[in-house]
Copies of this chain bind each other. A is one copy, B any other.
């Protein structure tokens, strides 16, 4: 099997025309040439929702050396990450809008918007500041990096919980997952911004929620699977935490009639940490930069650790 030229790049599928067009334009502006999958050195996957077609397309094109996935979360593709190829994902691309959404949800909870917005009568004056607060963030990736940058002037004391104990730049404290209950014991807000792995699935359970201060908010912008939803409903019922602001849920979308909808201290947004409108120019720019690096033989941005699964 002869290697395809590095300039020759496939962009499929075409089921999401806006993303396909943006990626084609990005490949071409980086000096690449869009070719069929069978002739390409690399594949840009252009529809995050079309994961079911993915294994067949990749298996039929053994010459593909590099595959770029469109989103930061890759669980839908994780079973097909052949370690003989190079994999990249949207890691970091969507970080700034997601970090902005963390701040949105935290402020909404601290400032009691969940009470003020539905009110039809002048509500009670309540609220606390994010300024000067203590925040514990799970995950040491691009979202946490963006978050630290965006709240730099806010005098927030930040603890990062991650796989490695290496101090995270800008964090007051960095600890590993096994120290997580200590890390949340004095947090005004606990933020989930980690990749979903076997280690983190269901991590926010009854014991975790019990370790949070009773005024503390849980903010999840990562994946619904980090949270044991039944335990969360029980904690909210018992006023054991200040509240929960969830951009992701388990199950997702949250079905009509689910008890979380009825929780007064629960804010739910429909997985809009970044919306397609926010994200499309960002992933296109990532594709452009990576194709340019690929052609030049430079290291790619956002490589997937196949063993770790993110």
Listed in ascending order, the chain A residues whose CB lies under 8 Å from chain B are: 96-97, 100-101, 103-104, 107-108, 111-114, 116-131, 149-150, 152-154, 253-254, 256, 261-262, 267-272, 275-278
Contacts and interface: CB of A to CB of B under 8 A. Distances in A.
Contacts of A97: 129, 131
Contact of A125 (B116, B120, B130, B272): B272
B275 A113 contact: no
Given A112-B269, A124-B270, A126-B272, 18 more contacts: A96-B129, A97-B129, A97-B131, A100-B129, A101-B111, A104-B111, A108-B108, A112-B272, A116-B269, A119-B268, A120-B256, A121-B261, A122-B253, A122-B254, A125-B271, A127-B278, A152-B152, A153-B153
A107 B103 contact: yes
Contacts of A272: 111-112, 125-127
A122 B152 contact: no
Nearest to A268: B116
A267 B111 contact: no
A117 B114 contact: yes
Contacts of A124: 270
A163 B260 CA distance: 49
Contacts of A96: 129, 131
B100 A131 contact: yes
Given A107-B107, A120-B256, A254-B122, A269 B113 contact: yes
B122 A270 contact: yes
B126 A275 contact: yes
B117 A107 contact: no
A278 B127 CA distance: 8
A33 to B, nearest CB: 32
Given A270-B123, A271-B125, A275-B127, A107 B100 contact: yes
B125 A275 contact: yes
Nearest to A261: B120
A149 B154 CA distance: 9
A104 B151 CA distance: 13
A108 B100 contact: no
Nearest to A150: B153
A44 B270 CA distance: 50
A113 to B, nearest CB: 6
A97 B154 CA distance: 10
Given A107-B103, A153-B152, A253-B122, A117 B113 contact: yes
Interchain residue pairs A-B with the least CB separation, the first 10: A122-B253, A104-B107, A120-B261, A117-B117, A116-B269, A127-B272, A104-B111, A123-B270, A121-B256, A118-B118
Contacts of A119: 261, 268
Given A108-B108, A128-B277, A275-B126, A116 B267 contact: yes
